Copies of this chain bind each other. A is one copy, B any other.
Amino acid sequence: MALIVQKYGGSSVADAEKIKNVARRIAATKEKGNQVVVVVSAMGDTTDDLIKLAYQISSQPDARELDALVSTGELVSSTLLAMALEAIGCEAISLSGAQAGIRTDNAYRQARIVKVDSKRVAKELKAGNVVIVAGFQGITKDMDVTTLGRGASDLSAVALAGSLGAKVCERYTDVAGIYTADPRIVPDAIPLAEISYEEMLELATYGSKAVQPRAIELAELLGVPIRVASSFLNSPGTLIHGGESMEIRNKVRSIAHDLDVAKITVVGVPDRPGIAAALFEPLAKANISVDTIVQNTSINNITDLTFTVAKSQLEKAMTVVEPIAKSIGARECLSDSKLGKVSVIGTGMQNTPGYAARMFRVLSDKRINIQLISTSEIRITCIIEESQVVDAVRALHRAFELDTE
């Protein structure tokens, strides 16, 4: 008898029929002799709808109230799913984040899990129940409800799987697994049978929305394998794990892309200590996530500093950066909101020269200009014009022979 944690995303439980469909999948897993814990997201667009409602009431809704508000979405889907299971004769009980023992700090909207006290979950499993846990939420020591950040039902699932010693955390959504590139723009893209935590983390951070990055980090830390599969199909999907078979690969694994990129360049910055801190501390305080940062070699103690943000944050970022640029004696601030990002990812690239050169050659052959470059040990990312991203992904997918895996 194995203990399996399953997580279903909002699109899998978007209406009554889909909830019944998910219930049948869960019951089938139970009937094979497994103990099953299910973490569920809010139905369809519920979370966005609740946030919209809050902004009709207040232009700056309080973070604690907002968390208590949006957490109701997962209470609704989890109770309905428990009812659907009971309706087909499968004993089930729903638990809120609080009841499931997901204890967090009090950083509302982005709370961190402090510990998982899974006593109640274990007791309900022992009683023969499928346990449905409301994802995305936890509770502070003062009994206040928190949420863990967008997409964090994945995090709830991995944390529970770790705490309960589950064999695997199965993550179901409307895509069939992790692909060699986004199948919507690369028809030849192939689902991968497996991928390492590190690769998946780069993929998730650089464009694939498949699994929340924090969930992947936690899964690696706790050694919980994650299976990503579709709740509408019966394919095995992709196993994200840290197994040894990864090491022998010598290849690029996947091409990631992201169309939500804007760039700010502070031109003519005096190159002295403390300048970067003077710029990026206020951005962090304004809750603006800065992505790639590039600083050129300085000439005559003057340098240019470029960084990227999400397009929706460009305007706010400029209002923060412009007065600072002025005060530190920079010449000007430039911005460009029509950019995209394409990344080549694979552990096989470690200690193997030539991948970057090959990527740049492919883009050059397509007459695609590279504006910024950033790399990690297992990833190369180029910032290019938004209109050229699709071409770039297709060309790279072909050049690195991902269609023939």
Contacts and interface: CB of A to CB of B under 8 A. Distances in A.
Interface string A44-62: 0000001001101111111
Contacts of A60: 87
A132 to B, nearest CB: 9
A384 to B, nearest CB: 42
A80 interface: yes
Contact of A68 (B75, B84, B87, B143): B75
A86 B57 CA distance: 10
A58 B84 contact: yes
A68 B72 CA distance: 10
A68 B134 CA distance: 11
A70 to B, nearest CB: 9
B66 A79 contact: yes
Given A87-B59, A98-B143, A54 B72 contact: no
A221 B25 CA distance: 52
A388 interface: no
Interface string A75-98: 110111011101100000110101
Contacts of A54: 79-80, 83
A74 to B, nearest CB: 10
A318 interface: no
Nearest to A43: B53
A62 to B, nearest CB: 5
A65 B53 contact: no
Q: Is the interface of A mostly helix, strand, loop or mixed?
A: helix
Contacts of A65: 79-80, 82-83, 86, 93-94
Contacts of A16: 53, 56-57
A360 B140 CA distance: 63
A99 B59 contact: no
A368 interface: no
A64 interface: yes
A24 to B, nearest CB: 13
B96 A68 contact: yes
A19 interface: yes
A84 B334 CA distance: 39
Given A20-B57, A64-B93, A99-B143, A80 B69 contact: yes
A60 to B, nearest CB: 8
Contact of A83 (B62, B83, B84): B62
A103 to B, nearest CB: 13
Contacts of A87: 57-60
A83 B58 contact: yes
Interface of A: 16, 19-20, 50, 53-54, 56-62, 64-66, 68-69, 71-72, 75-76, 78-80, 82-84, 86-87, 93-94, 96, 98-99, 120, 143-145
Cβ-closest 7 pairs across A and B: A58-B87, A72-B72, A16-B56, A69-B79, A58-B83, A65-B79, A61-B83
